[in-house]
Structure 1
């Protein structure tokens, strides 16, 4: 620092003292605050490289956490997707609500419990009538058959034209769409209708139950449904012999 003469030094000291005294309490606070801010700014400038370095570390850590979170979500989504696929697979392979004849022999079924069998429900006739024409369907009857195709009306008032085949005792009523026939109702009471080769009017009840692989059914009315549960054939026995078969679509 430059050296001042004694008089000039004395004058400068008095000048600083007078100015400091003139600041008062408020001035001192302002001066103190300014000095503190100057120190903080100096400290911040010194720590700036460390702050930048710490910021880089923080960004790196946040990036790693984001990547870990994304990986966990991906694993969770894959697990959920696999669980859904397993559920769908389990549902598609689930067994029907009723026992089918392909399973082991069923013991002690109740009279009201239907049996599931495609062969002895919709396929109880000699052949599948879906793709047959009227002449082929007539061949199911061993006696002369009459066909009626008259207008009928549903409960909703809609018209339809069923095909009514009858020999005066047995009857088969069919409906048709653009490509095929399907059985709406049928009633067979004697052996003048061609049936599935395994069944016939007058057959023994225990023989029929063996075909179904069912034992110990005491009731004389046995219901057999198709695999889709949309059609049923009802076998009515009397004195342990098959007396009648009723067939029809199931209306829910």
Structure 2
């Protein structure tokens, strides 16, 4: 019962962070590993939660008018292809290799959070050129590969990629982020399911928490409290990265 409550709380925090900014997976997967799941199973189990979280987030963003479905598909389709390739790589990684790679990524993400803490996007422009669409589509194939392998910190990568290739507002970027994750996470989860790398009870519990967190997060002002969220995330990620490195 205690384990279930921990997972539910973890999911709520992760869902909120993933929707408002990114980085929830950096908390969810380490907690699953520390509760006894092999890294590949923790990786697969977390994807159940991400599906529900993404659906809730996209629905809320769409209702508020911050969603571009056509451009979302341009990003999502290549990401799906890349994620299948990435997931096949992920299930073959030994636990100790995954943990070390994951810890390194966590440290790199801390660097990104610090560097990005004062970032301001340009004035929102809904118009996007054909060239920008092509570049974004190619870029998101590689985003999908990364998401299929690790998933952790993918939100930061998507935010950075869309900041570079578009002039969209952070709110619109976040709406596209959760949509792309929703698209590629389903086929990548199937790869884990087929290979028996999912713990369903914990995954569904985490999903419930993520859904609650995503609902709260998508109703939260995008930049309100952002500074404090990032400080807490940096501390939590740093502690977990150290534990994974020495484990």
For the criterion TM > 0.5, the same-fold answer is no
Q: Give the TM-score taking structure 2 as reference length.
A: 0.19
- Structure (1 or 2) with the greater strand fraction: 1
Mark the structure with the bigger radius of gyration. Answer: 1
Determine which structure has greater relative contact order: mean sequence separation of CA pairs < 8 Å that are 6+ residues apart, divided by chain length. 2
- Structure (1 or 2) with the greater helix fraction: 2
